[in-house]
Amino acid sequence: MEIFEIIEALILALTALFLIHLFRIYTYLNEFPTPSFTPIIGHVFDYSNPSTLETITKNVIKCGGIMRQYLGPQHPFLVVADKDFLEFTCKNNRYISKGSHYNYIKPWLGEGLVTSNGEKWKQRRRALSTKFSQTSLLQNFLDIFNQKSDILLSVLDKYHNKDVNLQPIMKRFTFDIICETAMGICLNQQSQTTNTEYAASVETLCDIYYNRMSSYLMRYDFFYQRSDEIVREKKALAVIDDILEKILNLKSEVKKSSGENDATTNDFLDLLLNVEIDGKRLNKDDIREEVNTFILAGYDTSSTALSLILYKIAEHPDIQKKLLEEQKEVLKEDFKKLHVSFENLHKMPYLDMVIKETLRMHAIIPMSGRRLEKDGLKYDNINLPSTVNFSIFMHGFHHNPEYFPEPEKFRPERFSSNEKIDKFTYMPFGVKPRQCLGKNFAMLELKSAISKILRTYQLINISEHQLDLKPKLLLYSATGICIKIRKRSKNITKKQEASVNLSTSY
């Protein structure tokens, strides 16, 4: 009988402790409103339903731009889509680090620009910004963009007058670009029917980390270390590390043979080998971190952005017509030449507007996590405790009618020079001081590819195809990103022309 009494007392004690725990977490940060939720489970269903982005956007706007969110019986985090709070975080940036979920990708990225904090981040950012912003480097990269987009057109030619899912094609295209600009290696992924071992390993790691961030159980090391995913992660990391080690050794040998003072920069890896911080060159671990960061940041993001921009152009024939007219006006006698000069790519304001409006409607990184590291900071007379996590909800900012009237309408003109866009409400590349270092790289890559594609193909909307956009770490469409493409008449071969309905206007 005594055993049962002990068990009963133990159950009552644990229940009492659990109820106290629930009371503490449900009164934590209670100065901020929260939508209705299921006890213990919290808002988990809001993040797993088919309309996650719409649900969270609706809730955060209803809560005034900042709301508490619970994922299971643990302390809440804040979802932020409020301009004033964002300005507050930028003003106090020295007390704010990256969110704790970025720790999941540290086995791959180490303490690179995306994951590092404090003085290390500041020094690394300062050194890389100076090097990476050089116009000559971007001009060198444009040659690579042109080479890879020539191959892209040959791939797209196979889909003349057919429906095509852009996602896998653009992934291979941007992967070829990022590997050659990052490491100087040519994988020719676009010309292959299967992924190379390196490409497959990058894809595997992206999949593992995205899934881990969206899984309640896998967030805990106890469960993750006992899952099959840890085996897949180690295998993929071994492949990537081995290839990068070989490339680094080759680069070092070349550098020795050409002289230690040789500062030739053909790719991002060359740039890193020439970087000095406090008079010291980066070591191999430092270089590994930044190369892997560059690949992750520029691979899936660019392919998804490019696919969505082409989709929006196909969806709006009137906008496509205006874009084509701009191409003719800017390029003139060079219109038929596929390659566009660096100077001409900066003379396409309407293309700029279309890209920016697409990235507003579809924020490629819907959320970016942050963590407060200092007690005593006040926002709107509210004391913010240290270690509180909050997510900057880009999609929520971009779809708030207070910041962007009629947010569900695709209106590129809102980014014309006549309309002022607040930097604290529009952030497709993040917000300073942690704005994406590759912003100019990405814009040049997108514009050079879109210019070629526009002048070569008519992009046609498939009325029955609907995007099913979902957030993980990045935005993705569960139904693919599909359009129909048709070569413009000047490029159509006689054989193709016979099978095309020539009544279609080009």
Give the helix/strand (H/E) hosting 484: strand 482-487
The pLDDT, as a whole number, for residue 1 is: 56
Could you give the CA distance from residue 506 to residue 486 in angstroms, rounded to a whole number?
A: 9
Average pLDDT over residues 351-377: 90
Residues 26 and 37 occupy one common structural domain: no
Counted residue by residue, the chain has a size of 506
Residues 315 and 216 occupy one common structural domain: yes
Give the helix/strand (H/E) hosting 237: helix 229-258
Could you give the CA distance from residue 205 to residue 234 in angstroms, rounded to a whole number?
A: 9
Structural contact between residues 199 and 239, judged by C-beta atoms closer than 8 angstroms: no
Angle, CA of 467, 469 and 472, to the nearest 5°: 155
The pLDDT, as a whole number, for residue 417 is: 78
What DSSP string describes 106-145?
A: HHHHTTSTTT--HHHHHHHHHHHHHHHT-HHHHHHHHHHH
**Cα 16 to chain center, whole Å?**
44
Residue-range definition of the domain harbouring residue 461: 31-487
Provide the pLDDT confidence category of residue 500 given band limits of 50, 70 and 90.
very low
Residue 493 lies in a domain: no
Mean pLDDT check: name the lowest of 172-181, 368-377, 383-392. Answer: 368-377
Give, in order, the Cα–Cα distances in Å from 144 to each of 82, 141, 162, 173: 40, 5, 28, 11
Residue 163 has φ and ψ, to the nearest 5°, of -75, 145
Residues 5 and 138 occupy one common structural domain: no
The pLDDT, as a whole number, for residue 255 is: 65
Could you tell me what percentage of the chain is helix, strand and coil, using 3-state DSSP and rounding each to the nearest 5?
A: 55, 10, 30
Residue 467 has pLDDT above 80, yes or no: yes
Digit-coded pLDDT (tens) for 18-65: 788 777 777 788 899 999 988 888 888 887 777 889 999 999 999 999
Average pLDDT over residues 470-487: 89
Residue 140 lies in a domain: yes
Residues 101 and 224 occupy one common structural domain: yes
The pLDDT, as a whole number, for residue 212 is: 82
Residue list, annotated binding site: 436
The pLDDT, as a whole number, for residue 312 is: 98
Residue 10 lies in a domain: yes
- 401 compared with 501, residue with greater pLDDT: 401
Residue 295 has φ and ψ, to the nearest 5°, of -70, -45
User: Shortest CA distance to 387 belongs to which of 399, 377, 378, 375?
Assistant: 375
Structural contact between residues 438 and 125, judged by C-beta atoms closer than 8 angstroms: no
The pLDDT, as a whole number, for residue 124 is: 86
Could you give the CA distance from residue 180 to residue 452 in angstroms, rounded to a whole number?
A: 20
Mean pLDDT check: name the lowest of 40-44, 56-60, 95-99, 224-228. Answer: 95-99
The pLDDT, as a whole number, for residue 505 is: 32
Residue 142 lies in a domain: yes
Give the helix/strand (H/E) hosting 198: helix 197-214
Residue 430 has φ and ψ, to the nearest 5°, of 85, -175
What DSSP string describes 427-464?
A: -BTB-TTS--TTHHHHHHHHHHHHHHHHHHEEEE--TT
Residues 14 and 138 occupy one common structural domain: no
Q: What six digits make up the tokens of 24?
A: 């503490």
Could you give the CA distance from residue 481 to residue 483 in angstroms, rounded to a whole number?
A: 7
Residues 309 and 410 occupy one common structural domain: yes
Provide the pLDDT confidence category of residue 263 given band limits of 50, 70 and 90.
low
Q: Which spans in 28-82 are helix H?
A: 52-62
Residues 114 and 218 occupy one common structural domain: yes
Q: What is the mean pLDDT of the chain?
A: 85
Residue 42 lies in a domain: yes
Domain count along the chain: 2
Structural contact between residues 156 and 168, judged by C-beta atoms closer than 8 angstroms: no
Residues facing 470 on adjacent strands? 476
Give, in order, the Cα–Cα distances in Å from 52 to each of 8, 56, 361, 481: 42, 6, 15, 19
Digit-coded pLDDT (tens) for 305-348: 999 999 999 999 999 999 999 999 999 888 888 899 999 999 99
Residues 329 and 474 occupy one common structural domain: yes
The pLDDT, as a whole number, for residue 195 is: 67
Could you give the CA distance from residue 484 to residue 482 in angstroms, rounded to a whole number?
A: 7
Residue 502 lies in a domain: no
Residue 233 has pLDDT above 90, yes or no: yes
Q: What six digits make up the tokens of 95?
A: 């007390």
The pLDDT, as a whole number, for residue 153 is: 95
Residues 79 and 7 occupy one common structural domain: no
**Percent of residues, the chain, with pLDDT higher than 70:** 93
Residue 48, domain CATH: 1.10.630.10
Residue 437 has pLDDT above 90, yes or no: no
The pLDDT, as a whole number, for residue 448 is: 96
Residues 128 and 11 occupy one common structural domain: no
Strand stretches in 282-430, DSSP E: 367-372, 377-379, 382-384, 389-393
Residues 217 and 176 occupy one common structural domain: yes
Residue 498 lies in a domain: no
Residues 108 and 200 occupy one common structural domain: yes
Could you give the CA distance from residue 307 to residue 165 in angstroms, rounded to a whole number?
A: 9
Provide the pLDDT confidence category of residue 75 given band limits of 50, 70 and 90.
confident
Could you give the CA distance from residue 327 to residue 323 in angstroms, rounded to a whole number?
A: 6
Residue 220 lies in a domain: yes
- 185 compared with 405, residue with greater pLDDT: 405
Torsion of CA 320, 322, 324, 330, to 10 degrees: -150
Residue list, annotated binding site for heme: 436
